[in-house]
Amino acid sequence: MGGGCIHECFRVEIAGKAFFLKCNSKEQASNFAAEADGLAALKQAGLRAPHPISHGSAGANAYLMLELLDLKDQGDFAALGRMLAEAHRKPGARFGWSRDNYIGATSQFNGWCDDWAEFWRTRRLQPQFDLARKRGYDIGQVDLSPLLENHEPHPSLLHGDLWSGNAAFTKEGPVVFDPAVYYGDREADLAMTELFGGFPGEFYRAYQAAYPLDVGYQLRKHLYNLYHLLNHLNLFGAGYLGQVKQTLGLLRRSL
């Protein structure tokens, strides 16, 4: 089955029941464990997500077995907006998560933090800037923390990688999957939905009606999406360099 650019995916049957199976080399065992952990957290927060059945290693392979869902690309995007808003309303105690996980194939660092601006600078942007320099990209760097001054969000459980390819629909309603969860500013989830094509307008209208965004989001979304653009630069190469520099220029002019 199709399942993304990292793992091999299969439909399997056990005792007449069908499941969705992801496989990769045994080095990916921690990736699968983090994904199972994230899916369970999303479900606990009230989001519809595939149920993780089992994960582990077998010989030279690692695997993750999930509930098999009949997914469609189109459905009730307004319901998706309301579902996400309801999950975001439930506050956590601090920013971060109980374990590190992955954003795509890149390690994502989630050490607990009480200050959101510090978390975003040290756990999100700095590791990506460091990795970009190691890969030979000369993009410069500036402290963008002032853009988060006087912005004090409560910690919401985030999907963490919520682009249009990680949401779909069943006959029961919207579903999200392939998470990179942590507690953070809900605006970071909303910002990523606007990358790579975005969601239909009814999604944003329903979210805004259920849980209005704070003043300043239209600028902060670029700060949050810089993380994902840097990650795509580091994963997929110089095709994203122009977008990274454009976003950095916009943010620098706003300081």
Catalytic, 76? Answer no
Q: Residue 1 domain-assigned? A: no
Domain identity same for 103 and 172: yes
Same domain, yes or no, for 118 and 240? yes
CA atoms of 179 and 165, how far apart (whole Å): 11
105 and 139 inside one domain: yes
pLDDT at 2 over 90: no
In this predicted structure, the answer to whether residue 126 has a pLDDT above a threshold of 90 is yes
Q: What pLDDT digit, counting tens, does each position of 46-57 carry?
A: 999 999 999 999
- The burial class, CB within 10 Å (0-12 / 13-18 / 19+), for 38 is buried
Which CATH number is 28's domain given? 3.30.200.20
Residue 43 CB partners (closer than 8 Å, separation 6+) = 49, 51
2 falls within a domain: no
Residue 86 and residue 61 share a domain:
no
d(CA 131, CA 133): 5
230 and 144 both lie in a single domain: yes
Looking at the structure, do residues 87 and 170 belong to the same domain, yes or no? yes
145 and 249 together in one domain: yes
- pLDDT range class, residue 4, cuts 50, 70, 90: low
Residue 115 domain-assigned? yes
**Domain contains 183:** yes
Q: Which one of 67, 90, 107 terminates a domain?
A: 67
pLDDT tens, position by position, 187-238: 999 999 999 989 999 999 999 999 999 999 999 999 999 999 999 999 999 9
Confidence band for 3, pLDDT divided at 50, 70 and 90: low
Q: How many domains does the chain have?
A: 2
Give me the pLDDT at residue 47, please.
Answer: 97
**pLDDT score at 6:** 84
- So what's the pLDDT on residue 45? 96
**131 and 30 share one domain:** no
**H-helix or E-strand spanning residue 180:** none
Task: Check whether residue 157 and residue 214 sit in a common domain.
Answer: yes
Q: Which of 130, 138, 161, 189 is catalytic?
A: 161
Residue 140 pLDDT? 85
Q: Does residue 226 sit within a domain?
A: yes
User: Residue 186: what pLDDT?
Assistant: 98
Among 42, 67, 92, where does a domain finish? 67
Residue 19 falls within a domain, yes or no?
yes
Residue 52, domain extent = 8-67
Residues 19-41: tens digit of each pLDDT? 999 999 999 999 999 999 999 99
